[in-house]
Structure 1
Amino acid sequence: MPANINEIRSDLASFVNKNPEAFQAALLSDSIFLSQYATRITKVDGEFPAPIALLGNVVQGFYAEKFTPFDDIIYKKKDIRTFRQKVDFVFNPSSILGTIYASKYDEGKKPEEKTISKQTFDMVIKKIISDLDYLSVNAKYDSSKIGLDKPVFGVSMSGLNEVITKNGKDTNNPFYWIPGDAMTSSNNVDVITKFEKDLPTIAKPLIKQVFTSLEDKEEYQENYDDRFGSRPTFKDDDTVKTRFGKRELVGVPGLAKGTVYATLPNNFIETVDIVENPGYISDIQVVDRIIKILSDFSLGYDFFINQYTFMHTPDGSKNLGLNDSVQNKLFFPNESKLV
């Protein structure tokens, strides 16, 4: 096997040049669980205001001599953030000597045909997907731990659990709360059934999925079997349906147990910067006989409009709805159950 590290660097660079979108494909992969259920918004780097325009009722009885409009259009906004991430991968060529990877250098072949390059990047890409799968749900952003000499994993962005917690405290853009019992391993069928029955009437036909933790989904399946004798599955797959709405019950790995929510189509968003920063490998360096692979990108998850996100809560102090009479009338003017 050649000892020239620069030659190996050249092989890696050749692979990157011939597969320029390999890294971007990992970043935008549906293998990241949440990406399957998110609407992607591109060209986002940092924080941006999400505008919301609300138009009240417009239809009224006809009387030709007067112009009597209802309320004007009302505008609101929510600041949505994407988080700058980077990948620093260290590859020590000497570490593969005497291992099964040594044969993958394929001495004598053209650089683009040598499988050590593909093997290296396949390994990096799989790890990126694994890391983002975890971060997208479990990460807790902590700016004080960014840029340390010894990096800390899990603090580079806000994952779904933190997004829900943060948005749940936002009174300017509140969730639509649906009160109910605290969900346990024995009452989840009742809790989720009540949740979907209490969804606002105007939203029910639009909502196709209810989200909960993976553990809660599994316990729901088991309890449904015990109570009704058959599992609510369809088409011989692992899809689980709710009892009345026949909505897909999605179990999110890592989501806090007891969480139940639903949202309107396209309201859960994934923000990325793939135009200004397309997620390419930015550099391959050789330092002290070590090959360093560098890249960076922006990524974030959030709900575009909190008011159209329907969240189960065991908090007895919360009422059904937005817990704001003015906003209830703005967002759900014809929902008679709201105060």
Structure 2
Amino acid sequence: DAYKLEYVNDKVCDIIGRRRSEILGHDFREFLHADSLDIVAERYKKRRQGEDVPSAYEIKIVRKDGEVRNIRMNAGAIQGGDGRVRTVAQLLDITDEKAGALALEESEYRYRNLVENMDSGLSVDNIEGIITLANDALCRMLGYDSPDELIGQKITTVLHGWTQNHVNEKVRDRKAGKIEQYEAQLIHKSGGMVPAMVTASPLLDHNDEYIGSMAVFTNISELKKTEAEVHFLLDLLLHDIGNQLQLILAGGDFLERNAPPDQIVRSKRYIMDGALRCMELIQKVRRAEESKSEPLSPNLLSLVARAETELLFKQRGVRVDLSGLDDNITVYADQALSQQL
């Protein structure tokens, strides 16, 4: 009879989760999931009528315990000696296979999402030192429009000063399982240099065989800029304060027990001037550092210059000639402008 099951083997019983007696003579549509009912019934009828329909496709069945299983079915029609057309089908349970594929797909999606959204640049190169993967962050860091411009290039294309010998040495380290962090100069597409901190690690396949290296590049341009500023300020303090300390020491040398009053006065002036100058230098450095977070605003350069020269005259008795300074020069600056004059 149509739709009735006449024979099933033990494997089909296992797949459906029922005894043979619970299957034979039953309408096969009883075991189909609602999502698969229409397509299976339609193709079953067309196949019996001699129409050409796909023989292999995926369906869902419902086991006796209510569990839904994914099945890959291959069905065909045969005509028996009695002239009746029967459908023969092979069933393969692919539930675990699909679950594994879905888990892999989700894992790959999370990995791609992580790679593409990370702030640091990332690249993968093979045993020959050829770039096989690069993320968007690395492209932005180096001025490239897309990863395709980097993929296929030698890693030495982006690492300044590196030769094939450097690559071979790093390959040996990675094969030995070494993970390291070091500073490097990356080559921007424009030809400029980008200072970066590189964290490199070995890349292994599913058999734990070495297949290349993975590197994360962190742009440290701002860090290097800050370091340069710190060194500049430190050199300034050491030089200028050192000079003022010499002045203080010189003043101290004049403070002898029997020194005449005018010599003692000059000595005190040396010491006080040196100490005040040291305090001024420290204040300048502090104000310059604090002003980094301030927005820039328009300032008339002549007004700032005149205010500073007037202060210099009061403190040192030195008059600066500003007659050639244009009164209409406007500059955008923060409060540290006066400290630079």
**TM bucket by the smaller chain?**
under 0.3
Calculate the TM-score normalised by the size of structure 2. 0.19
Determine which structure has greater relative contact order: mean sequence separation of CA pairs < 8 Å that are 6+ residues apart, divided by chain length: 1
Larger gyration radius, structure 1 or structure 2: 2
Provide the TM-score with structure 1 as the length reference: 0.19
Bigger share in helix: 2
